[in-house]
Structure 1
Amino acid sequence: MESLLTGVLSFIVAFTFASFVEYWVHRWMHKPLKFGERHRDHHRRNEGQGVLWEFRDYIKGTFLMMFPPFLISIPIGLGWMIGAIAYAAFSSYAHQLQHENPTKCFWMEMPVHYVHHKYNMWHHNFGLGVDWWDHIFGTYKAVDWLTEDETSQPERGQWQLRWW
């Protein structure tokens, strides 16, 4: 039972930490560095690359960070790895959903990444999967985002999006 609790706590910490890292990496991509070149192209095109390709990029970027917790214990390592992979999958889905069908992003009052793109907010709304860190670090900027553009779109389910 103790191992299960340890694994669950490790999962929660990894999921939360992954969202924190994602927020800061995305924020860093908006600095005038070579690092942000690909991201600027993403803003010009204003489209996601597909859930599976986003997921691949998230895993590639964090792969090495998944293994050190195994040096502490197997339950901590498993919880950490599953939490990190779960957040990568969730965030990949959330990112694509906000590009294609933002009204289905039910877990946030305002789909921050969609608004970040729609209003060219280079200094606000950096969250992809969650908006927690934007609220905490003062980069959340609420706007009246639900306009005729969004309401006139044909009705689609939350799973109808580009997967690859």
Structure 2
Amino acid sequence: MSDNEGSVFVVGESDASIERLIEMLEHVGYQTVACKNLKQVNFRAKENPLPIVVLSLSSTFLPALVEDPTLTTCIEESLVVGVLNETDLPIAIDLFRAGVADVWLQGIQENELQESLLRLEQTRKLRVQSNHDGKKLEIINAELEKSLRMLKQDQLAGLEVQKSLMPE
């Protein structure tokens, strides 16, 4: 078994950024599970509680998420990370606002992922704990704000986080 509980479910088409993220996740002890869609995640996550779900954004994958938001109900106790290119940002923002993903990573640099993943892992654990406390939204939002602030500081190193909860 891996050093960390649960698995990483990678959904959508793979590209260089996704491959680097997968390598880093496996390096720190996660088991990677490739899934064609979120329905597969729903089915396979039953045996792997508390997964991190990585959404690989592609022109064919994104519209399905927008059209069928029920696909996201299977990952309510997961930390969802979207990996995108600049061209995908507009639709990524829409998905973020719809609650499909918690964090969007852009311009991933392999050597910067370790620290970011530790922050995401802490957020994930806090989310699970908060589900039992009945203070889910307050705790998650506070921790995500903190994580996003810290991740934003990594911009000079090439890691950017897109946050779309700010008013237009």
Taking structure 2 as the reference length, the TM-score comes to 0.31
Higher relative contact order (CA 8 A, sep 6+): 1
**More strand by proportion, 1 or 2?**
2
Taking structure 1 as the reference length, the TM-score comes to 0.31
